[in-house]
């Protein structure tokens, strides 16, 4: 019992304390190492949740759903911190980072991890909202870190759109409280997840409907759903690459987690509007829109940012379809996307550093000039495109086949969307990876450890899912309804 | 004994699985070796491939090549043996379930007689290609881009055939596509290959998505993706039609059914030749396996009309494919188009089998299906040999364009007759195997008046005419190929200095030709071998052939038709020998070499020979106007004018222009339209949020 | 809750909507900031009245924050920025004031329909408050959409926040957590915006977001 | 014993066609000459030509390959085998079941395949012209032929020529539209296959109009002799095929005695005379058409054949 409380507290304390420490450490090598160590410890703590599930308190709680998110998040947070250590060394050498800025960067990195952990273990709609707002602000800071014209615009766009999204989410949260208040009673109880979900059937369904609209749009902005996505490509493209990895791999998931929680809540009320169709429509719109947007991209990081939108569309679509199979697929796809997309950014970072440009026209023939990175990119793109032997293939298979049984036309449109997005990615991949090498052949440091840590599990998942994992996913999938 | 039989089949499955693991291990070894080399020498000097050095036989360092290919050949042989044993013992059942793949289903593997037959095709091709690769691979400039993927490709194809649940099947299917894509991209620097790879990959994924949907219909409602579960829950009639359509799209895009064939002529030539042989000869067959598995096995009893789209598409594919081949001037491109033609022929056989099966004519259905399967086997053989030959030409000259080749019969004295034999086989000329299978298809067409439906009555004779047309065109096409490449005078310096290829390559080709001849003169043995697979799908089989007098084949009953390849062969050989003997004995045998006569107008320039384009011109004038919208324009200078006369031809690929280009245009247009949202102001983006909010708020406001 | 207190709460909430309309109506930056200060003051009154009526003393904190920060400090700071940048005459609207006002009326109607239909069971005060605060939120968003100038967009954003605070305080017994978080976020938001404005001015000598948007997308 | 007798009949048949073939060619030439009011060469002139060619040396083009020398034998073998599979005077020959009408067509196809290759081997423009035109003609003639085969086979229920002839003799056969169509188509195809007027002129060496002759331009001596003999055999084969299918009377069935065999031979010779005469008459009364009219001519044959088949398919159910 005590140990359990310690685990949740540690999840918050570790990043919070390290944020303070890192803000004070001047040596960037030391701070990079500290950053990794702290992230690693957080990851270990997260793993301990598998063994001991803490009892829910009024503010914090952990259930099967959040455990998956927490472990995934802390894992990607850890590997990204490893990648970041190599990345910033190069940036320092290039003079794009000053040591002071780096202190800020590391502090913000840990703050972000703190905020995301908080959002994932909050047992309170308000607390969750605060955490997500904090995560937004931290990432805004990091996106604007380079202080270039473009970076500031990206951060500004992100801030404004994120702010509006957050505002909408807050309104939704208030509406949920208003709906809960007559049933659960006034005060803190009206915002506690565990209580809300138990009594949701008695809430006013009409109010829940409106609340869900606001919440979907509000948190959907952070998920990057079309048409609320506009901040996402710029934020990915203009910030430091580790942040792009974190954004795609973590922050989107956290927002998705919030959407899922509220979907559960609304879904628990039989009289309320079904949340599924709304999510399906937005997911499909994101998939199709991002698929088309992939074609005319000229910037490699923006390209993969749109691909993140596409995949968020797929995931939201899967969860929107619901049912044990689709939910399972959604969870799996989310995991695979987090791992793969951040791995792609791990390769993109050194590539961009070596070539000195992130324009696609300047990058070509990567398997010739930087074979290891180039092939890693090929593997990453193949994995993200949902081809075997990688895990996303399984999730896409499950989504399509299970959807087709329920509503064939949706599955058809969905497949067309997948194909459109795939063709665009393939088009860029052929240019990026093959043909004569373009640009510099400067040696690039390959972040082997983080890459392997991401791609090997992705490969393994395509071949074999451990029964324990499957059981957990299935349990959660059943619980998501 | 059923348990023993089942155990035998399971053993075969297990052995094959271990062999597949062996393939994968080889792929892994190759990757590891490449990575290690890279680590040892992090900055290799990247040399650009040079055609002349290639032609002169400059060989880069290859230590692993013979090793990998040799192992591949060995493992293929093992699987071949296992599959043969499984097919001949007639064992079914014996499912192996591994806890891999889809967690709540597992990976099911099973070698039934159909799978065993296709395993034989796959591994025969794989064995040949590996053998060929031992020699051919030495000329590879970047072996690191071929060696890891070749075994993976073989593994993928074997797994597709063995898979016995939807997920494993699709997984292997896509693995096969991906590995072959990587092989297509092996020579990625050559212009056009990137496009080939792109088109191929997109078409492959299109096919896979269609198969996703197919299995969604077949298994989605039940939620159990194993084939046995699918078989136990047949879909309802209208849905089954949809499944048929989706299966045609899904497998047709891999097999090369018109109009989904566009990637073949791009991708097959781009790959290294032994890989082209595998892709053309074997991978398309794996696609047909998928079609047979889906439609004949999983989908339940067919409706009468199912055969019609299959047959119509098959016939159209056959004719269009060979007409395209007639127009093509790239040697490997021609072979790829000819593959399309043969796929069409096979699909006609399958369509007929479906029609017969639906009308409760099991014997006729067995005949048609046997014809289809036999043609699959035959095509795998001779198409492999043809691609090996094309590879030999490529090794010897570095050229693929017909208009630069010529006279190679003098320079490649062993390759030439082997290639010629394969040309004869693919042109369906007796006594080789191509004729035997086409003869069977024609025989099954002749049984089709028994079909009661009017649609069939009108369609089948037309299909027969189209098939006959395709066969005749194929002969013309391969006269052109062999005549332009091997006969005449060399059209380029490189072609006149070509050197014969290595023994491994020649060995692979000789083996293939030997099997072609064997299957041609003893078709009965092969037909009987296929009988278990046919019987499992149709419930009937062709009468046993090997017991017949003189080893002839009789499709249905003694009184009707028969063909004896052995006798025709012996007869022809005897006649030719007799004639030769008689002339030796009674005629003159003085031979004098002299300059060519050519009606008194000989011209030493090799350009004055008939070229590939001029050879095709009469046929283009007959069919081209309709099929390609071909127009010739002749610019004849006025008398006295010394300017050269010019002839120019404009051609249209209506399928590309009519389907693919508009789709591409639409996608790009949509991309451009959507792309405007990339360049909006924050205000506009806020406007989107605003509109989305208002729109969604309207939903509950207007709901009730 | 007896009639009078309900009426007063209702009146104050209505006043908030009214000031939102006034915000929409402005075409000078200084005037805009002044009206915003007025709105924040109305918000202060409203929250304070709620605190009194609900007997929830913690709401006084929120009220105080609204008064000090939003009614005095932020408008003052923005005044200074505007003065320093010399952009006080520029409020470019999209589609004309009249059209914007019409759209605003439509939005108010929409929020009334949406909320009042949905909450027959809720307490009347909460209902009215929710409807009116939704109007304020939507009007704030409308303002952000129809203004080109960064300062007025920020004002629109804060006006949205005002609406949210109104909603939060209107909900009976909503825990303190929320108020603190709102105040907190406003604070951070202000800081961030301040940093951004500072940088923007430093680099572009204007806060017109059109200039920011020139790049808008692909790195050239 | 039966086997030996059968073998004897089969051997006789093979020798008969081999010996008769040049005679038929000579006969047609003679008749044509008479129709044109010339005396014409003697009937046995083709034999003399062949013998002279056999005795002459072979002049090979410098560039000719081994295939060039092998091809005459292959062509001759394929044609001879095909010819000996067609029942001339007797049905139920020993090896008649080893190949049916489809196989015969394909054997002729093989001969054509090799001939076209020979045209390309020397690397001359005329050879190329001949080869490409020949294959163009073949692409239409072969499917037309197969359609005719289909029509006949659907009627008789077999593609076996002996069975076919037997069926044609039987009373089941009536006057069928399909048969008429098939006959017309077969005649058209036969003209094309043998390179007769109006498709090709066997006597011309006018460069731009020749097809068959262009391909064999480089052949000489014994090679040319074999090819000429094969051409004659092919003419005989086609004629035999037509008479065997459409005027099957007089064919001696399997197991008949020596007398019947001789009657069969006599009747067969009569039929050949009639056929050769009609061919000569036809050729003298018509002009050669332009090369690119040929596809239309053969296309018509193909359509007739297809129509015949279709009618059969459709009428079966009536």
Residues B13 and B110 placed together within one structural domain of the fold: yes
In D, minimum Cα distance to B589 occurs at D57
Determine whether the interchain pair C141/B681 forms a contact, defined as Cβ–Cβ distance below 8 Å.
Answer: no
Percent of chain C having pLDDT more than 70? 70
Residue A123 lies in a domain: no
User: Which of D95, D103, D150 is opposite residue B439, by nearest beta carbon?
Assistant: D103
pLDDT computed for residue B125 by the predictor: 94
Per-residue confidence (pLDDT) for residue B676, from 0 to 100: 86
A88 within domain boundaries: no
Q: Read off the pLDDT band of C203 (50, 70, 90).
A: very low
Answer yes or no: are the C-beta atoms of A169 and A214 closer than 8 Å: yes
Give the residue, C69 or B471, on which the prediction is more confident: B471
Pairwise pLDDT comparison (D118 vs A185), residue with the higher score? D118
Backbone region of residue D170 per phi and psi (left: phi > 0; alpha: psi in -120 to 50; beta: other values): beta
Among A165, A213, A406, beta carbon nearest to B700: A213
Closest by Cβ to C199, choosing from A126, A152, A174 = A152
Count of structural domains within chain A: 1
Residue B260 lies in a domain: no
Q: Cis omega before residue D231 (within 30°)?
A: no
Chain D: closest CA distance from residue B223 (Å): 45
Q: Do B576 and D109 touch (CB under 8 A)?
A: no
**pLDDT tens readout for residues D51-85:** 999 988 899 988 889 999 999 999 999 999 998 88
User: What ranges do the domains of chain C cover?
Assistant: 3-212
Rounded to a whole number, what is the distance in Å from the CA of B498 to chain D's nearest CA?
16
The number of distinct structural domains making up chain D is 1
Least CB-CB distance to B576: which of D54, D77, D305? D77
**Chain-chain contact of B100 with A278 (C-beta, under 8 angstroms):** no
Distance separating alpha carbons of residues D47 and B108, to the nearest angstrom: 72
C178–A174 C-beta distance less than 8 A? yes
Buried b (16+ CB within 10 A) or exposed e, B644-672: eeeeeeeeeeebeeeeeeeeeeebeebbe
C212 touches chain B (CB under 8 A): yes
Alpha carbon separation from A1 to A13, A62, A469, B47, C48 (Å, rounded):
18, 13, 24, 65, 43
Residue D154 binned pLDDT confidence (cut-offs 50, 70, 90): confident
pLDDT at D48: 93
Asked if the Cβ–Cβ distance from C209 to B681 is below 8 Å, we say yes
Q: Note whether B382 and B277 are same-domain residues.
A: no
Structure tokens at A150: 């473009």
Neighbours of A328 (CB within 10 A): 26
The pLDDT tens digits of the residues spanning B20-54 come to 888 888 888 888 887 777 666 544 434 444 433 33
- On whether residue B690 sits in a domain, the answer given is no
Task: Report d(CA B370, CA B115) in Å as an integer.
Answer: 15
B633 touches chain C (CB under 8 A): no
Q: pLDDT for A152-171, tens place per residue?
A: 778 888 888 888 898 899 88
CA distance B348 to B314: 5
Q: What is the average per-residue pLDDT within A254-282?
A: 89
- Asked whether residue A454 is assigned to any structural domain, the reply reads yes
Q: Enumerate the β-bridge partners of residue C147.
A: C93
| Alpha-carbon gap: A167 to the closest alpha carbon of chain C (Å) | 7
Q: How far apart are CA B307 and CA B356, in angstroms?
A: 8
Interface of A with C in 81-140 (CB under 8 A): 124, 126-127, 129-130, 133, 137, 140
Give dist(CA A131, CA A119) in Å, integer. Answer: 5
Residue of C nearest to B682 (CA): C213
Q: Please indicate whether, in this complex, the C-beta atoms of B621 and D292 are within 8 angstroms of each other.
A: yes
| Closest residue in A to B190 (Cα–Cα) | A435
Q: Do A411 and B674 touch (CB under 8 A)?
A: no
> Domain residues for A467?
274-481
* CB-CB contact of A333 with A399 (8 Å): yes
**A302 within domain boundaries:** yes
The number of residues making up chain B comes to 704
* Same domain, yes or no: B207 and B308: no
Higher pLDDT, D311 or B375: B375
Q: Does C113 touch chain B (CB under 8 A)?
A: yes
Say how far apart CA B548 and CA B561 lie, in whole Å: 13
D76 contact residues in B (CB cutoff 8 A): 575-576, 579
Arithmetic mean of pLDDT, D6-26? 88
Which residue, C66, C78, C97, C91, is CA-closest to C161? C66
Minimum-distance CB partner of C181 among A130, A149, A302:
A130
Task: Pick the residue of A306, A379, A401 with the most B CBs within 10 A to test the interface with B by mutation.
Answer: A401
Question: What's the pLDDT score for residue B605?
Answer: 84
Measured between CA atoms, the residue of chain C closest to residue A213 is C114
Alpha-carbon span A330 to A276, nearest angstrom = 13
pLDDT at A82: 93
Average pLDDT, chain C: 75
Contact call for D and C: 3+ CB–CB distances under 8 Å = no
In 3-state terms chain A splits into helix, strand, coil percentages (rounded to 5) of 80, 0, 15
Tell me how far apart the alpha carbons of residues A190 and A124 are, in angstroms, rounded to a whole number. Answer: 9
pLDDT tens for each residue of D198-242 = 888 777 666 666 788 888 888 988 999 999 999 999 999 999 999
Beta strand pairing status for D58-61 and B631-635? unpaired
- How many contacts (CB atoms, under 8 Å) link B and D? 301
Mean pLDDT of A313-337: 92
**Buried b vs exposed e over A365-382: b needs ≥16 C-beta within 10 Å?**
bbbbbbbbbbbbbbbbbb
* Global ipTM: 0.90
H helices of B220-330, in order, are: 227-232, 237-255, 264-270, 273-277, 284-291, 307-327
Taking contacts as CB-CB distances below 8 angstroms, the residues of chain B near D69 are 591
Residues B419, B518: one domain?
yes
Q: pTM of this prediction?
A: 0.92
Range picked from B430-439, C71-80, C116-125, D165-174 for highest mean pLDDT: B430-439
Q: Which residues of C touch B681 (CB under 8 A)?
A: 148, 209-210, 213, 216
Nearest CA in chain D to B559: D158
Cβ atoms of residues D153 and B561 within 8 Å:
yes
What is the percentage of chain A residues whose pLDDT exceeds 90?
Answer: 40
**Shared domain check, B538 and B450:** yes
Q: Which residues pair with D90 in a beta bridge?
A: D252
d(CA A108, CA A232): 19
Q: Is B197's CB within 8 Å of A295's CB?
A: no
* Partner C contacted by A167 (CB < 8 A): yes
Q: What is the dihedral of CA A474, A477, A478, A479, to 10 degrees?
A: 120
Domain hosting B516: range is: 301-583
Report the b/e string of B391-409 with b at 16+ CB within 10 A: bbbbbbbbbbebbbbbbbb
Cα angle vertex B384, ends B383, B385, to 5°?
90
Asked if residue B556 and residue B460 are part of one domain, the reply reads: yes
**Buried b / exposed e along A383-408 (16+ C-beta atoms within 10 A):** bbbbbbbbbbbbbbbbbbbbbbbeeb
Which residues form the domain of D194? Answer: 2-316
Q: What pLDDT was estimated at residue C63? A: 83
pLDDT band at A210 (very low <50, low <70, confident <90, very high): confident
Which pLDDT score is estimated for B622?
Answer: 87
CA A170 – CA A125 distance, rounded (Å): 9
Cβ–Cβ gap C178/A133 under 8 Å: no
Minimal Cα distance from B682: which residue of A?
A157
The pLDDT value given to residue B544: 82
Residue A368 to residue B46, Cβ atoms within 8 A: yes
Dig out the tokens for B115 from the structure. Answer: 């799978």
Taking chain B (704 residues) in consecutive chunks of 10 residues, what is each chunk's mean pLDDT? 52 85 88 75 43 40 77 93 85 77 86 92 94 87 86 94 92 93 90 90 93 86 81 82 92 92 92 93 95 91 90 95 92 95 95 93 91 95 95 91 90 94 93 92 88 86 93 94 92 88 92 94 90 88 78 69 86 91 85 83 82 89 86 86 86 90 93 86 87 86 63
DSSP C208: B
CA distance C72 to chain A (A): 22
**Do residues B18 and B159 lie in contact, with contact meaning Cβ atoms separated by under 8 Å?**
no
Mean pLDDT for chain A? 88
Distance between A281 CA and the closest CA of chain B, angstroms: 11
Vertex D139 angle, CA D134 and D145, to 5°: 105
Q: Does B580 touch chain C (CB under 8 A)?
A: no
Residues of A in contact with B688 (CB under 8 A): 227-228, 230
Which residue of B593, B610, B616 is in closest CB contact with D125? B610
Boundary (domain end) residue, out of B583, B607, B626? B583
Query: Contact C175/A129, CB-based, under 8 Å?
Result: no
Chains near C, with 3+ CB pairs < 8 A?
A, B
Q: Which pLDDT score, from 0 to 100, does residue B40 have?
A: 60
Asked if the C-beta of A153 comes within 8 angstroms of chain C's C-beta atoms, the answer is yes
Q: How far apart are CA D119 and CA B598, in angstroms?
A: 11
Beta-carbon separation of D133 and B594 below 8 A: no
Say which of A153, A168, A191 has its CB closest to residue C212.
A153
Beta pairing partners, B633: B648
Nearest residue, CB atoms, B562 vs list D100, D217, D306:
D100
Residue in the structure block whose two tokens are 């605190």: C51
Question: What are the chain C neighbours of A358 within 8 Å (beta carbons)?
Answer: 219
Could you tell me which chains touch chain D, where touching means 3 or more CB pairs under 8 A? B
Q: Long-range contacts for A94-103 (Cβ within 8 Å, ≥24 apart)? A: A94/A353, A96/A146, A97/A145, A99/A26, A99/A28, A101/A145, A102/A28, A102/A31, A103/A22, A103/A23, A103/A24, A103/A25, A103/A26, A103/A28, A103/A31
Question: Are A434 and B188 inside 8 Å of each other by CB?
Answer: yes
Q: Alpha-carbon torsion A183, A184, A190, A194, what sign?
A: negative
For residue B683, the chain C residues in CB contact (below 8 A) are 94, 144-148, 153, 209
The answer to whether B185 contacts A430, with C-beta atoms less than 8 Å apart, is yes
CA A6 to chain CA centroid, Å, is: 26
Residue A5: its pLDDT value, please?
A: 57
What is the C-alpha radius of gyration for chain B, rounded to an integer number of angstroms?
A: 27
Q: Is B700 on the interface with C (CB under 8 A)?
A: yes
Which residue in A209, A397, A430 is closest to B212 by CB distance? A397
My answer on whether B217 and B343 are in the same domain is no
């Amino acid at each position: 019992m005590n140990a359990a409380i310690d685990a949740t507290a540690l999840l918050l304390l570790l990043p919070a304390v390290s944020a303070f420490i890192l803000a004070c450490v001047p040596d960037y090598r030391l701070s990079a190492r500290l950053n990794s160590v702290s992230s690693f410890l957080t990851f270990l703590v997260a793993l301990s949740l598998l063994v001991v599930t803490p009892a829910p308190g009024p503010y914090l709680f952990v259930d099967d759903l959040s455990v998956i998110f927490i472990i995934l998040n802390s894992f990607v947070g850890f590997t990204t911190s490893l990648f970041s250590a190599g990345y910033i060394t190069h940036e320092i050498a290039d003079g794009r980072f000053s040591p002071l800025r780096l202190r800020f960067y590391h502090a913000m990195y840990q703050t972000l991890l703190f905020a995301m952990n908080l959002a994932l273990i909050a047992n309170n709609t308000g607390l969750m909202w605060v955490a997500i707002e904090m995560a937004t602000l931290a990432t805004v800071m990091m996106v604007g870190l380079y202080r270039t014209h473009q970076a500031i615009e990206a951060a500004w766009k992100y801030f404004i759109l994120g702010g509006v999204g957050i505002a909408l989410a807050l309104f939704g949260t208030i509406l949920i409280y208003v709906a809960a208040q007559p049933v659960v009673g006034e005060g803190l109880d009206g915002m506690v997840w565990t209580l809300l979900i138990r009594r949701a059937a008695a809430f006013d369904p009409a109010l829940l409907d409106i609340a869900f609209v606001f919440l979907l749009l509000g948190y959907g902005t952070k998920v990057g759903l079309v048409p609320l996505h506009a901040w996402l490509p710029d934020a990915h493209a203009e910030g430091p690459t580790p942040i792009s990895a974190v954004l795609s791999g973590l922050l989107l998931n956290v927002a998705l987690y919030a959407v899922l929680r509220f979907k559960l809540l609304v879904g628990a009320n039989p009289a309320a509007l079904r949340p599924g169709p709304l999510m399906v429509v937005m997911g499909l719109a994101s998939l199709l829109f991002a698929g088309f947007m992939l074609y005319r991209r000229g910037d490699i990081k923006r390209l993969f940012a749109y691909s993140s939108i596409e995949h968020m569309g797929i995931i939201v679509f899967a969860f929107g379809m619901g049912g044990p199979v689709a939910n399972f697929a959604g969870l799996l796809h989310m995991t695979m996307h987090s791992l793969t997309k951040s791995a792609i950014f791990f390769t993109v970072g050194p590539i961009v550093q070596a070539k000195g440009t992130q324009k696609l026209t300047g990058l070509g023939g990567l398997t010739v000039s930087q074979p290891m990175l180039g092939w890693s990119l090929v593997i990453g793109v193949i994995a993200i495109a949902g081809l075997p032997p990688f895990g996303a293939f399984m999730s896409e298979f499950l989504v399509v086949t299970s959807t087709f049984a329920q509503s064939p036309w949706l599955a058809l449109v969905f497949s067309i969307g997948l194909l459109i997005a795939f063709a665009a990615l393939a088009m860029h991949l052929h240019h990026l990876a093959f043909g004569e090498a373009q640009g510099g052949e400067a040696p690039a440091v390959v972040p082997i450890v983080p890459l392997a840590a991401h791609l090997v599990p992705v490969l393994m998942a395509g071949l074999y899912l451990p029964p324990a994992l499957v059981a957990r996913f299935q349990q959660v999938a059943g619980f998501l309804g | 004994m059923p348990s023993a039989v089942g155990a035998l089949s399971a053993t075969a499955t297990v052995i094959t699985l271990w062999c597949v693991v062996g393939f994968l291990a080889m792929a892994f070894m190759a990757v590891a070796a490449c990575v290690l080399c890279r680590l040892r020498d992090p900055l290799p000097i990247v040399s650009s491939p040079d055609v002349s050095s290639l032609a002169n036989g400059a060989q880069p360092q290859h230590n692993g090549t013979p090793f990998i290919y040799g192992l591949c050949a060995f493992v293929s042989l093992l699987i071949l043996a296992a599959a043969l044993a499984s097919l001949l013992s007639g064992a079914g059942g014996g499912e192996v379930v591994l806890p891999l793949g889809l967690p709540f289903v597992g990976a099911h593997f099973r070698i039934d007689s159909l799978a065993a037959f296709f395993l034989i095709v796959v591994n025969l091709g794989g064995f040949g290609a590996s053998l060929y690769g031992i020699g051919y691979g030495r000329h590879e400039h970047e072996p690191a881009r071929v060696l890891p993927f070749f075994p993976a490709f073989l593994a993928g194809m074997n797994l597709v055939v063995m898979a016995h649940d939807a997920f494993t099947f699709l997984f292997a299917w896509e693995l096969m596509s991906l590995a072959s894509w990587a092989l297509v991209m092996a020579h990625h620097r050559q212009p056009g290959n990137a496009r080939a790879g792109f088109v191929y990959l997109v078409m492959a994924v299109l096919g896979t998505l269609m198969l996703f949907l197919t299995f969604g219909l077949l298994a989605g409602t039940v939620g159990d993706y194993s084939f046995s579960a699918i078989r136990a829950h047949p879909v309802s009639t209208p849905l089954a039609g949809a499944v048929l359509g989706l299966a045609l799209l899904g497998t047709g895009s891999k097999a090369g059914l018109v109009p989904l064939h566009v990637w073949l002529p791009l991708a097959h030539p781009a790959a290294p030749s032994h890989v082209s042989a595998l892709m053309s000869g074997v991978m398309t067959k794996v696609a047909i396996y998928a079609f047979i598995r889906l439609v004949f096995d999983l989908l339940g009893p067919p409706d009468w009309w199912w055969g019609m789209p299959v047959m119509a598409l098959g016939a159209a594919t056959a004719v269009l494919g060979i007409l395209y081949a007639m127009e093509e001037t790239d040697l490997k491109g021609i072979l790829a188009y000819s593959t399309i033609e043969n796929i069409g022929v096979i699909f006609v056989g399958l369509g007929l089998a479906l029609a017969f099966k639906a009308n409760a004519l099991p014997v006729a259905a067995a005949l048609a299906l046997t014809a289809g399967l036999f043609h699959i086997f035959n095509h795998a053989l001779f198409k492999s040999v043809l691609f090996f030959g094309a590879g030999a030409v490529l090794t010897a000259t570095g050229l693929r364009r017909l208009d630069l080749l010529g006279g190679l019969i003098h320079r490649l004295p062993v390759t030439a007759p082997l290639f010629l034999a394969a040309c004869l086989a693919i042109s369906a000329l007796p006594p080789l195997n191509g004729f035997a299978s086409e003869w069977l298809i024609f025989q099954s067409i002749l049984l089709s008046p028994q079909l009661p439906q009017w649609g069939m009555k009108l369609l089948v004779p037309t299909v027969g005419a189209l098939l006959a047309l395709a066969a005749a065109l194929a002969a013309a096409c391969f006269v052109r190929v062999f005549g332009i490449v091997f006969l005449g005078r060399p059209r380029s310096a490189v072609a006149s200095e070509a050197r014969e290829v290595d023994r491994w390559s020649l060995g692979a080709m000789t083996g293939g030709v030997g099997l072609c001849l064997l299957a041609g003169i003893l078709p009965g043995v092969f037909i009987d071998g296929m009988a278990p697979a046919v019987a499992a799908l149709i419930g009937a089989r062709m009468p046993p052939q090997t017991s017949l007098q003189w080893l002839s084949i009789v499709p249905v009953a003694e009184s009707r038709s028969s063909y004896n390849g052995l006798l025709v062969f012996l007869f022809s050989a005897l006649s030719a020998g007799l004639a030769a003997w008689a002339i030796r004995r009674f005629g003159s045998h003085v031979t004098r070499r002299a300059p060519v006569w050519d009606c008194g107008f000989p011209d030493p320039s090799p350009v004055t020979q008939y070229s590939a384009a001029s050879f095709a011109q009469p046929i283009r004038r007959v069919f081209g106007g309709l099929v390609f919208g071909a127009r010739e324009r002749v610019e004849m200078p006025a008398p006295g004018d010394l300017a050269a006369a010019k002839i120019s031809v404009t051609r249209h690929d209506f399928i590309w222009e009519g389907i693919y280009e508009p789709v591409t245009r639409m996608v790009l247009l949509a991309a451009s339209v959507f792309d405007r949202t990339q360049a909006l102001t924050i205000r506009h983006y806020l406007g989107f949020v605003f509109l989305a909010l208002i729109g969604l708020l309207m939903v509950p406001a207007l709901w009730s | 809750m007896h009639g009078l207190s309900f009426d007063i709460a209702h009146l104050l909430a209505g006043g908030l909507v009214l000031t939102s309309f006034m915000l929409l109506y402005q075409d000078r930056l200084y005037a805009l900031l002044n009206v915003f200060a007025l709105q924040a003051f109305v918000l202060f009154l409203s929250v304070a009245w709620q605190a009194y009526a609900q007997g929830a003393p913690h709401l006084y904190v929120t009220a105080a924050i609204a008064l000090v920060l939003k009614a005095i400090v932020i408008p003052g700071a923005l005044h200074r920025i505007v003065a320093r940048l010399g952009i006080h005459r520029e409020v470019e609207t999209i589609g004309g004031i009249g059209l914007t006002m019409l759209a605003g009326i439509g939005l108010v109607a929409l929020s009334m329909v949406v909320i009042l239909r949905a909450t027959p069971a809720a307490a009347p005060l909460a209902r009215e408050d929710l409807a009116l605060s939704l109007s304020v939120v939507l009007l704030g968003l409308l303002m952000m959409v129809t203004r080109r100038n960064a300062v007025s967009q920020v004002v629109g954003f804060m006006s949205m926040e005002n609406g949210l605070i109104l909603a939060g305080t209107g909900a009976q017994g909503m825990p303190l957590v929320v108020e603190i978080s709102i105040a907190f976020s406003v604070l951070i938001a202000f800081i961030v915006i301040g940093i951004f404005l500072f940088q923007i001015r430093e680099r572009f000598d204007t806060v017109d977001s059109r200039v920011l948007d020139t790049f808008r997308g692909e790195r050239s | 014993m039966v086997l030996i007798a059968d073998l004897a009949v089969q051997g006789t048949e093979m020798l008969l066609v081999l010996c008769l073939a040049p005679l038929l060619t000579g006969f047609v030439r003679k008749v044509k000459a008479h129709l044109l009011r010339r005396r014409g060469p003697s009937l046995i002139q083709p034999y003399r030509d062949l013998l002279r060619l056999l005795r002459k040396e072979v002049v090979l083009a410098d560039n000719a390959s081994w295939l060039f020398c092998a091809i005459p034998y292959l062509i001759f073998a394929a044609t001879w085998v095909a010819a000996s599979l067609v029942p001339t005077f007797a049905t139920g020959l020993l090896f008649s079941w080893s190949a049916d009408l489809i196989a015969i067509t394909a054997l002729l196809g093989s001969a054509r395949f090799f001939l076209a290759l020979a045209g390309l081997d020397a690397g001359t423009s005329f050879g190329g012209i001949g080869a490409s035109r020949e294959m163009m003609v073949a692409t239409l003639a072969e499917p037309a032929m197969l359609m005719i085969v289909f029509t006949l086979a659907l009627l008789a229920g077999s593609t076996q020529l002996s069975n076919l002839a037997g069926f044609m003799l039987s009373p089941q056969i009536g006057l069928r539209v399909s048969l008429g169509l098939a006959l017309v188509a077969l005649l058209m195809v036969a003209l094309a296959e043998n390179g007769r007027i109006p498709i090709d002129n066997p006597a011309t060496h006018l460069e731009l109009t020749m097809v068959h002759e262009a391909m064999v331009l480089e052949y000489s001596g014994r090679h040319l002799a074999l090819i000429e003999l094969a051409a004659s055999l092919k003419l005989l084969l086609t004629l035999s095929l037509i008479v065997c299918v459409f005027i099957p009377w007089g064919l001696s069935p399997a197991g008949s005695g020596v007398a019947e065999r001789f009657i069969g031979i006599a009747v067969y010779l009569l039929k050949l005379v009639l056929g050769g005469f009609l061919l000569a008459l036809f050729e003298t009364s018509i002009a050669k058409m332009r090369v690119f009219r040929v596809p239309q001519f053969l296309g018509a044959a193909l359509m007739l054949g297809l129509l015949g088949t279709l009618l059969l398919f459709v009428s079966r159910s009536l």
